[in-house]
Amino acid sequence: MYRKIEDFVTDWAYETEMTLKIFNALSDESLVQNFHNEHRTLGRLAWHITQTLTEMTHQAGLPMEVLSDMPENLTASKLAETFAKDAEAVKEAVIANWTDANLTDKVQMYGEEWTKGLVLSILIRHQAHHRGQMTILMRQAGLVVIGVYGPAKEEWAAMGIPAMA
């Protein structure tokens, strides 16, 4: 849970950068590749991350315009552009509307009561969770996986170091 806006903003900058690195590694073709009929495609998963930025923060009381359903013919570049724009809007809305003092204020979230600081923490964890799912699908799609919290297999190889088994 966040107790200072500044701490959230610092973490948000890194997490946004990492999500954009993952999104920028996607191809248009990979967005629609289906690996299992009952699971999300890479495009649907990436759109879910993007859509949640505005949905969750709006639910918590920030003045955010909630994205609609995933557009047909979504491209990887449009996806990354939309994510970047909305991630910046989240940061700006938090800075403009919330203070360190009210991060302990409670809001109704999905049938539960969360503090605003917890909302921000879960928003970041939500991205990390789904980025992990995306990297598995990226490998299945034959895309290069980008390291987020350390080098990916391909990045170790580029450094001339064998990846840990």
Tens digit of pLDDT for each residue in 124-146?
A: 999 999 999 999 999 989 998 98
Residue 149 corresponds to which tokens in the numbers above?
Answer: 């919290």
Left, alpha or beta for 82 (phi > 0: left; psi -120 to 50: alpha)?
alpha
Residues near 13 by beta carbon (within 8 Å), at least 6 away in sequence: 91
39 appears as a binding residue in the annotation = no
pTM of the entire predicted model: 0.91
| Measured distance between the N- and C-terminal CA atoms of the chain, rounded to whole angstroms | 34
- Percent share of the chain, pLDDT over 90: 76
Residues near 143 by beta carbon (within 8 Å), at least 6 away in sequence: 25, 26, 27, 30
36 appears as a binding residue in the annotation = no
Delineate the domains of the chain, giving CATH numbers in brackets. 5-158 (1.20.120.450)
**With 0-12 CB in 10 A as exposed, 13-18 as middle and 19+ as buried, what is 69?**
exposed
